[in-house]
Chain A
Amino acid sequence: MLNSSIKTESIPERVLSICQCVADNGPISEKRLESILVPQKLNTAKTSYFRPVFDAAKALKLIAHNESQEVVFVGRKDDIRSLADFRLFCNSKVFANSASDFYKIISCFLESNDEWLRYGSVTTSGEVIKLLSAETGISSNKLEKDVILGVRFWIGFLGFGFFQEQYKVFLPNMYTALKDFMKLGSIEKGREYSVGEFINSLHGGASVALKNALQTQTFNLAMSNALRLLHDNKEIELKKHLDSEKTWHLFRNEEHEFISDITHILIKKAVK
């Protein structure tokens, strides 16, 4: 996570759980914390998943050690009240560093549009692994064994789309993530933004989904689906002003009211 290596074990729900436990019981020794989180009698596996989960929570700067080497909660309790709060918090933090593997991999997933669909399972597809390896420098073996498997939990959790677990196929639609970036940004209800203004008013984390958009004025499938769904739900209104200087393009969808071109976005509902 963030700058650390991506592990399968540190799924978001576990990271949240450890944070909530520390918030309730801290300061607490690591040993005691582990005995609560990983009850010895129930964990029959040879290894405990405590360490990677602990490290992820620490990397998110939600827990830390005090001078007595006890574990204390150092975040805001509001950020760990629920999975949705935790997701919003994560979206505000995890894409701060565009050089991180996590950022690059998520960006690759989003830029793939519908191209990876023909490869089937993304966790075993040679083409996908090759592409991600070239982008991140992570070895193919590590990508296949750990990284992609781990990222799949986070990409779904952070709201970038759905992951079909049985088929290991990613279906991009960042409706939830975009709403988070709108909420974290400075989007105002009732205001009509040009698409450029809209993007600039989003939280910086949204850059993970806009890798090529700024140069080409063309949104990827994940972002296009999110904008269309927000429009269909009447949370925003996509617009096409014929006299507008700049036209942006959604990923083409012949079935939708907006096949491709948009110029403005009217915010109809406050983002919750």
Chain B
Amino acid sequence: MNIEIAKNRIGQVLRIDSIDSTDSDFLATHIPFRKIAVKAKNADQIEETYRSEEDIYKDIFENEHLRDQHQLVIVEGPSGAGKSHFIRWLNAKLNAQKEKEVNNEVVLLICRSNNTLKGTLRQLLAKNEVKEIANKQAYDRLLKATRTISEGKFRSTIYHQFIVEIENDTSEKMSSTKRRKLIALLNNSLFQDKLMSAGGPIDRIYSKITSSSSNFDNDVIAQFYKEDLTLDVDFAEQLEDADKKARDLANELIDGDNNEFIQKVTDYMNSFVETVIQTSAGIEPGDFQQIFKEIRQELKRKGKNLILLIEDITSFTGVNQALLNALVTGHTGSNAADGLCRIISVVGTTTQYYNQFRDNYRDRITGQITINDGVIGENKNDLVQFIAKYLNAMSLNVETLDEWERSGAYPEDFPVHNDDEHIGWDKFRLSAEKQISLFPFTQTAIINLYNAMPDHKTPRYILRDIVEPAVNEILYHAEAFPKFCIGWSSPLSEPVENRIGNIVQSLQMTPDEKADLRKRLVAFVGFWTNKTLDVSSNGYISGIRKELFSQFGFDGFVSKLTSLSDTKNADKYLPPREEPLPKAEIHTEQDTQAKTAAPAYNIDPKKQREYDNFKDSAISWHRDGKSLVRFIPIRDEISNFVYDAVNWQQEGVPLDSKNRFKDSVGGRLVGFERQDQGLDRCIVVFKDTDETYQLLLCFAKWLYLGNKSWNFPDSASAIFFATSWLQRNKDRFASVIKNVDSGASIPAYVKAAMIEKVYKQIINGKLENTKLERLGDETFLNVDISENVSEEYKNGHSKKWYELQAFIQNQGSDPYDASVRYFNLIQGDVKNTGTYVLNYSLYQSALKEIHRSGYVIGENEDIGTDRDVKAKREIYELTQKIINKVHKVVEDETTIAHDTAMKTLEYFKNIDTDDEFEAGDIRDIINNINDFYQKCYTAGINISYPDRSQLPKIKESASDIAKALNILLEEYKDEDDITVLCKFSANPIGKALPFLQILNKAYNDADIAFGQMNNEIESLKQKGSWNDNIDPRFEKQQKNFEDLLAELKEVQ
């Protein structure tokens, strides 16, 4: 390639379909057609022969016998076969010959341009021959048509013109009843919407007249299709409120047995298409014939003949019958009087459209050419030649090619650029003497790039998507080459692609530079080479010369690769450089399927497809920046691998903690940048890197190809990747699952569980006289406590205390399990085991931490990933709830305690609030009470006496009661809730209460006794037996006693 010339020429040469492209460029880039079938009328026989394009040219234009005869040659073939290109080649060839020879031919080429009537009319009216000659009125009408056809209301105009035509139809193609029904249906707005919808018949007709859409299919026919007028039941039902006639016809158009009728209506509609277009565009039916007639008359006067080349007859939609009529008119016989010149017309048409008009013009068509070349890539030699010729044309001056064209454009004179600057690049061999350099492509690259094109593998797209971007990069950004195909599906095997990544990774450059180099190399090796990284002893790498790598800045990579490689084995892969074409094949779908099946491992084809599908998703995620889809099964396998392969206990993560995490988080342990769902719920998110991409493919193989095993091709490499990835990320996973703050030894939930255990024991009355800072195995390595139902516990505490106890008991034993299992060293992955071996050092560290904690957890503490794990979060939240309730419990408990203490104190005149109760005080007062009751009994006072054991029992407990009362007497304002709670755990109120109760009773009973005694005095007084406060009964008894005493003395 001549870089300097190409900078100027690339724009000109690549204007493939432009009317502005020169004939010399066109001819210089033209690839000869291979399969041209010619049908010619010989007498009444049709003969078919295969001819070269040069032969056909000579047959039509240089045949002495036919030269002066009227000819109408149809060029037909399937869409994309190259009909248009063939006609353009005829034109270029005619022009080239004209330069050489003096003749009397006027050549008029009508290109497809936008393939619309509007575009075609403009083209025709721009021709000098038409401008100078044409009938002024007809010319003006056509000119007006090209200007007034606006996109706004034009569709509606077309639609209503059909109704007008049907209303005025006098033919008998359709019965009048049916016509009226059809008009009613066409007037229905729903039906109108259907026919005018995008892609519908009105849209097709509209697009064929005038369209600005580049997506428009050039070969579409502007007609009604049967499907357009076939209705379904649902649609017919929507017409419930429509005119009856419309409904009747709609019912007849319902898909089913009415195919014949629907076809009839379709044909009927199509019979108006041409008229509707002409009317809508403001063209008179006779204008066309008139214009051509006048052109021919004028040429005849000047002694000239006309050659009319029409790339596509359908571009005359609306006037094509008029056009055909003009073309079939001969210049001899009955028409001789009109003074017309001879006309040779070559008209391109699709086979489908040709079938529609062929019969009407059967006798007038003098030749039929069928082109069956198909897409250019079907023949790899043509494909390479195609690109070679474009590269060559870009490297040659316009003057050089024009000179060649002026000289007749003979193949033997074809100029070829001799590329001395780019040595070692593949060449296309045009002939023994003429070889075109393929720089910047290799033959392999051209074929691989063509194979990788998604669709539209036509010359236009090959130039647009491959040649133009590649050459532009070479001209202006060679350092980025081959950027244009970096995102294309790589034909490289995964091992080679991964190895490129690994080698690049070892080079000294920035991460961005590495990423860029890796992408370029994957594209270059994948498309330009034999897709290996083989290094041969004679300077070949990947089957191409080492210098080819050097030209794109791949030296560092090559140097590294060369230093690592064993050349012995690679030599056998040396490419046979003399071969005209590389070994790369153009792929078919069947080929691809055959190659992807790996028989050695007996992989289920369905699983292989699943793997391939996922790989496609991963590729578009990694290379094109799309969202990651279909990732969940793979993501789950990766997460499972992490859970399963790491020995968590050995990483300092107790298995119970890991299991709680896994049960809650599951596959969401890992996530990927731009995954299409649920990213915010993932714990460890991996960025879109080469390593993550390889990770996804590694576990897609494990899942699909290995069916959850490592039994798949080259699994040893996959194991290296998986274990290396895990080794690198293990600490990260351990950290999030363990979730222990720095400086701490246990996670928030275990701390909460242990603290909960303390509160549970206190509230249940099981932590008596214990120093909180010494809580140990009895609290934390003990069996879970059951609800305290003892009599001593049942009374005394505040209502809030008992409510908290009920709340805790109702929560189940999960905090207990969590705190106990956390310190058990388990073998394997057993969830519930009866064996227990203490993780000694972890437990000791936890104890210290709990003692330091003050048995509280922060209100808004950040608990890290414990927040995401339900079985951890709930423990934390439960402890928080308990701690929140505790303060109210303390308030109520201390209030009751204070009341109890004060009431008790009222009975002790000698004890002040600052003093302490002593057991002796209690025993004294109990003794007094006992005396009181004795006296009452003796005196026969009628009161309820305490149980015989009650007072001795209190006396025995005097020491405990004194302690309890002293606890109640204490001031708690400045104490922590947990300290207060702990003091009241043993229920001091409950212990003091029986004492207070007996005091209260004795006090009340004393009142009763006093009252009873007073009543007795009053009664005696009233009887007159009471004097001076002495009961007369005592005097009598005293006398009796003294008498008895005297008698006893005498006996002695």
Contacts and interface: CB of A to CB of B under 8 A. Distances in A.
Contact of A173 (B564, B641, B724): B724
A165 B644 contact: yes
A24 interface: yes
Given A117-B711, A221-B719, A256-B502, A165 B829 contact: yes
B379 interface: no
B1020 interface: no
Interface stretch (B252-260, B646-654, B870-878): B646-654
B568 to A, nearest CB: 11
A162 B726 contact: yes
Interface in B685-731: 708-711, 714-717, 719-724, 726-728
A50 B825 CA distance: 12
A12 B837 CA distance: 12
B723 A161 contact: yes
Nearest to A21: B840
Contacts of B563: 240, 242
Contact of B824 (A42, A50, A163): A42
A272 interface: no
Task: Pick the most buried of B563, B824, B838: most chain A CB atoms within 10 A of its CB.
Answer: B838
Interface in B211-232: none
Interface in B938-970: none
Given A114-B715, A255-B494, A42 B844 contact: no
Interface string A30-49: 00000011110111110111
Given A17-B825, A17-B837, A254-B714, A171 B719 contact: yes
B496 interface: yes
A39 B836 contact: yes
A45 to B, nearest CB: 4
Task: Pick the most buried of B566, B719, B835: most chain A CB atoms within 10 A of its CB.
Answer: B719
A257 B503 contact: yes
Contact of B719 (A24, A153, A173, A231): A173
Contacts of B836: 38-39, 42-45
A255 B499 contact: yes
B645 interface: yes
A41 B652 CA distance: 25
B833 A45 contact: yes
B359 interface: no
A240 B651 CA distance: 36
A161 to B, nearest CB: 7
A86 to B, nearest CB: 10
Contacts of B715: 114, 117
Nearest to A229: B724
B839 interface: yes
A13 B825 contact: yes
A163 B648 CA distance: 11
A38 B716 contact: no
Interface of B is mostly: helix
Interface stretch (B605-613, B777-785, B990-998, B1044-1052): B777-785
Contacts of A114: 710, 715-716, 719
B49 interface: no
Nearest to B724: A229
B827 interface: yes
Contacts of A231: 506
Contact of B838 (A36, A156, A175, A176): A36
Contacts of A17: 825, 837-841
Interface in A251-272: 251-261
Interface in A212-241: 221, 224-225, 228-229, 231-233, 240
B531 to A, nearest CB: 12
B564 A258 contact: yes
A217 to B, nearest CB: 14
A195 to B, nearest CB: 15
A258 B566 CA distance: 11
A13 B823 CA distance: 11
Contact of B727 (A37, A120, A229): A229
Given A17-B837, A162-B645, A256-B499, A221 B716 contact: yes
Given A13-B839, A17-B839, A165 B828 contact: yes
Nearest to A11: B827
B122 to A, nearest CB: 60
B712 to A, nearest CB: 9
Interface in A1-57: 8-9, 11-14, 16-18, 20-21, 24, 36-39, 41-45, 47-50, 53
A66 interface: no
B529 to A, nearest CB: 16
B837 A253 contact: no
A163 B645 CA distance: 5
A24 B566 CA distance: 58
Interface string B643-681: 011110111100000000000000000000000000000
B349 to A, nearest CB: 55
Given A166-B644, A173-B724, A254-B717, A117 B840 contact: no
Contacts of A229: 720, 723-724, 727
Nearest to B723: A173
A261 B820 contact: no
Given A21-B840, A114-B716, A240-B563, A156 B650 contact: yes
A221 B280 CA distance: 79
A169 interface: yes
B1032 interface: no
B840 A20 contact: yes
A49 B644 CA distance: 24
A173 to B, nearest CB: 4
A253 B827 contact: no
Task: Pick the most buried of B506, B716, B717, B720: most chain A CB atoms within 10 A of its CB.
Answer: B720
Contacts of B777: 39
A165 B499 contact: no
Interface string A138-172: 00000000000100010011000111111101011
A114 B496 CA distance: 21
Interface in A101-152: 113-114, 117-118, 120, 149
A50 B838 CA distance: 10
A99 interface: no
Contacts of A172: 719, 723
B495 interface: yes
B798 interface: no
B777 to A, nearest CB: 7
B827 A8 contact: yes
Interface in B837-854: 837-841, 844
B505 interface: yes
Nearest to B645: A162
A240 B727 contact: no
B498 interface: yes
Contacts of A240: 563-564
Contact of A20 (B640, B647, B728, B841): B841
A229 B844 CA distance: 37
Contacts of A163: 645, 647
A232 B724 CA distance: 9
Contacts of B858: none
A49 B566 contact: no
B708 to A, nearest CB: 8
Contacts of A9: 827
Nearest to B601: A118
Contact of B709 (A47, A113, A120, A153): A120
26 contacts: A12-B650, A16-B841, A17-B841, A20-B840, A39-B781, A44-B836, A45-B833, A48-B835, A83-B650, A83-B652, A156-B647, A157-B647, A165-B647, A165-B829, A166-B640, A171-B645, A173-B724, A175-B724, A224-B720, A228-B724, A229-B723, A229-B724, A242-B563, A253-B720, A254-B499, A257-B560
Given A42-B820, A120-B709, A240-B564, 13 more contacts: A39-B781, A45-B834, A114-B710, A117-B711, A162-B726, A166-B640, A167-B644, A228-B720, A242-B563, A251-B716, A254-B499, A255-B720, A260-B566
The 3 A-B pairs at the shortest CB distance, nearest first, are namely A173-B723, A45-B834, A255-B498
